[in-house]
């Protein structure tokens, strides 16, 4: 027992500091737009969007351990749901993310039942195919989606502030909601069920966990938030087309960010999103020709040296301290 005591006191410390740090960060983020130029504001908004995608992937990929490449499918679906509803003047702007989230939740729950029978690589490929199928649908269902011509969205013209500021706060709010749900799920019975399934699905069934239902919930959660993010994104950029919003790179980015920060943790995906965007801005700008190669290199290095992400670095040092 004495071995456990420094760890528990450290836990207590982080538990006390955690909420305070989050509160300070929140205040900083709330006043930040008034001090940022448009370029920085766009970057900050993108970080929030990436956080949403990484946390979303974390539900199915991190907690449950099913390597989904389906984020783009629901990001795209959400952006089309939002775009179509807004151009038809069916709903006010602020309601479009919620509508997109609900549609994505339902679609993912329906598709999850057949897809989640597959495991490992098979599931990964099936989830990847979802995005491609949706893209083809958007391409060819011209009457509704405008096909390859894409959709132009009405400008915001909000009285609350400049468009950049409004989208900053909307994405911040969405990121906070995703974060809150991640924390809540992580502490609930559902979170325990997620972790049991990741470690041993058969044993999870044997202790009374309805693995199929639990996996569908995780998949639906990992679809709803990207859907909302897609709807916001559509309004933000003002124009969407199938190859933009169903881009496979979105499905790759989400797990890479989560891996970068720490899979299956609460803070990891956000840290990963921040690191990834910093990397994207600094390196890719200077290496335009090679950015895909560099992305591949990051994935390889991550798998080799940091399979549990940056969050794990502190944990690993602790283990080394204990050994010496």
Positions that interact with another protein (CB under 8 A): 1, 4, 189, 192-193, 195-196, 199-200, 202-212
Q: Please spell the DSSP secondary structure of 201-224, one letter per residue.
A: HHHHHHTT--HHHHHHHHHHHHHH
Question: Which residue lies nearer to another protein by CB, 3 or 34?
Answer: 3
* Inter-CA distances, 273 with 245, 260, 278, Å: 18, 8, 9
Question: Which residue lies nearer to another protein by CB, 142 or 200?
Answer: 200
Find the shortest distance in angstroms from Cβ 264 to another protein.
9
Contact 263, 62 (CB under 8 A): yes
Find the shortest distance in angstroms from Cβ 10 to another protein.
15
- Nearest C-alpha neighbor of 55 from the set 172, 179, 174, 169: 179
- Nearest C-alpha neighbor of 105 from the set 214, 223, 251: 223
Q: How far is the C-alpha of 79 from the C-alpha of 104, rounded, in Å?
A: 10
Question: Which residue lies nearer to another protein by CB, 20 or 207?
Answer: 207
Find the shortest distance in angstroms from Cβ 184 to another protein.
14
Find the shortest distance in angstroms from Cβ 258 to another protein.
17
- Please name the residues in contact with 186: beta carbons below 8 A apart, sequence gap of 6 or more: 63, 266
Find the shortest distance in angstroms from Cβ 21 to another protein.
25
Q: How far is the C-alpha of 127 from the C-alpha of 70, rounded, in Å?
A: 5
Question: Which residue lies nearer to another protein by CB, 72 or 197?
Answer: 197
- If DSSP codes are grouped into helix, strand and coil, which group holds residue 130? helix
Question: Which residue lies nearer to another protein by CB, 155 or 208?
Answer: 208
Find the shortest distance in angstroms from Cβ 321 to another protein.
17
Find the shortest distance in angstroms from Cβ 175 to another protein.
27
Question: Which residue lies nearer to another protein by CB, 251 or 265?
Answer: 265
Question: Which residue lies nearer to another protein by CB, 142 or 187?
Answer: 187
Q: How far is the C-alpha of 257 from the C-alpha of 274, rounded, in Å?
A: 8
- Nearest C-alpha neighbor of 149 from the set 244, 54, 66: 244
Find the shortest distance in angstroms from Cβ 193 to another protein.
7
Q: How far is the C-alpha of 259 from the C-alpha of 276, rounded, in Å?
A: 10
Contact 225, 78 (CB under 8 A): no
Judged on CB neighbours under 10 Å (0-12, 13-18, 19+), 118 is middle
Question: Which residue lies nearer to another protein by CB, 64 or 204?
Answer: 204
């Amino acid at each position: 027992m004495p071995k456990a005591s420094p760890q528990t006191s450290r836990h207590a410390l982080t538990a006390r500091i955690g909420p305070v740090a989050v509160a300070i960060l929140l205040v900083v983020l709330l006043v930040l737009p008034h001090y940022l130029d448009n370029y920085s504001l766009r970057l900050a908004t993108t970080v929030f969007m990436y956080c949403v995608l990484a946390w979303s992937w974390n539900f199915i990929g991190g907690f449950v351990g099913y390597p989904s490449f389906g984020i783009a499918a629901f990001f795209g679906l959400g952006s089309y749901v939002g775009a179509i509803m807004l151009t038809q003047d069916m709903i006010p702007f602020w309601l479009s993310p919620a509508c997109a989230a609900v549609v994505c939740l339902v679609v993912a729950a329906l598709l999850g039942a057949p897809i989640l029978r597959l495991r490992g690589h098979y599931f990964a490929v099936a989830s990847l195919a979802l995005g491609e199928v949706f893209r083809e649908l958007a391409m060819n269902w011209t009457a509704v989606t405008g096909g390859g011509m894409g959709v132009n969205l009405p400008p915001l013209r909000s009285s609350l502030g400049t468009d950049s500021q409004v989208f900053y706060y909307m994405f911040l709010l969405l990121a906070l909601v995703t974060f809150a749900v991640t924390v809540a799920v992580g502490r609930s019975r559902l979170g325990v069920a997620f972790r049991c399934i990741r470690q041993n699905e058969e044993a999870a069934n044997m202790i009374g966990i309805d693995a199929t239902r639990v996996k569908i919930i995780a998949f639906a959660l990992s679809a709803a938030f990207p859907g909302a993010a897609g709807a916001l994104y559509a309004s933000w950029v003002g124009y969407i087309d199938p190859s933009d919003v169903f881009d496979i790179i979105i499905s790759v980015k989400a797990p890479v960010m989560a891996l970068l920060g720490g899979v299956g943790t609460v803070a990891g995906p956000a840290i990963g999103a921040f690191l990834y965007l910093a990397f994207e801005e600094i390196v890719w700008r200077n290496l335009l020709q090679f950015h895909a190669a560099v992305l591949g290199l990051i994935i390889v290095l991550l798998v080799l040296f940091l399979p549990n992400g940056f969050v794990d670095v502190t944990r690993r040092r602790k283990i080394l301290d204990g050994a010496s």
